[in-house]
Structure 1
Amino acid sequence: MTGSWDTPDRRENARGTPQTGAPYPYPLPDPYRYQPAAIPGGYPPPYGGYPPRAAAPKNGLGVASLVLAVIGLVSVATVFAPIALGVAAVITGVIGHGRVKRGAANNGGVAIAGIVLGGLAIVVGLAFIAIWTTVWKDVGGGDYIGCMQKAGNDQFAQQQCADQFRRNVQDQLNITLTPTPVR
């Protein structure tokens, strides 16, 4: 730096060209000043001294758990879907609740609801398996399968097996099934 009473202070910048003015820019107001202790990892804050934004909560697994559990409960008539969806709901709910415990998510109630309803879907699915198995035995479902295997490709014998099975269902369950149209 050179200067005298009649010339301002002169300094050179990184490119070696002379520059005049104060040696440092004016200080920022205190709320915007960089404070290394406030930043985790000691890295300078991005975008002019503002602190980084907090990460958005990762609530997807808790919501997915609840959705899977509800779909599992609605699909109880399909026998195996509630069990598979219930297991998936419990697993995603447990992982989602783990995220809540770590502070990465904020929907603990949704995750717990998914776990509880997923467990309920499993229990209801197992109950429906027992119900359908009992009904299948009562109406002679095993006899129907055996009859169809014996019939082979004979259309007349297959129709007799179907008619016999329909009569068994109507007699055992006290319902009337609509007859299939003859072609």
Structure 2
Amino acid sequence: MSYYPAPGPDQQYPHQQYPQQPYPPQPYPAGPYPPPYGPPGYHPPAQPRNGLGIAALTIGLVSIVLAPTIVLGIPAALVGIGLGIAAYLRTRRGEANNPGIAIGGMVSGALGILGAILMLVLFISAAMHNSDSSGLRSCLDRAQGDPAAVMQCHLDYSGTGDGGRPV
């Protein structure tokens, strides 16, 4: 049952003209920049996210810079290591996806501690080396202002390579 009469032999169906589209259709217009979306079903890769790891790396690097101060370097390094461990545990639980930043924070914190310990050892060594200055003072007291004796005291207690002791 047809509601419309069939066209006669001399009659054609009216055709609408549609503009020709390239096949296959392009998902986005061409331009100088890539589109913000990809083809259907495409999911862009997840961006690295680990804010705690970035904080650990930053504080760890700051601890390396502060290592010569010892008083600020060691606490900063400990904070960097602690944040790095927390950030790494987040990556293990799947809450963050960039474990390299967390590991970098732990490593830089450890380097900050090593730098501070090295500076502490150098400081103690220099203090022990200079503790023999009492010998120079007693030599200068014995010289009693005699220029030749004062010069000899300075020669005896400076740069001899044996800890500042007289030769």
| TM-score w.r.t. length of structure 1 | 0.45
Q: Which has the larger radius of gyration?
A: 2
Identify which of structures 1 and 2 has the higher relative contact order when contacts are C-alpha pairs closer than 8 Å and 6+ apart.
2
| TM-score w.r.t. length of structure 2 | 0.49
Larger strand proportion of the pair: 1
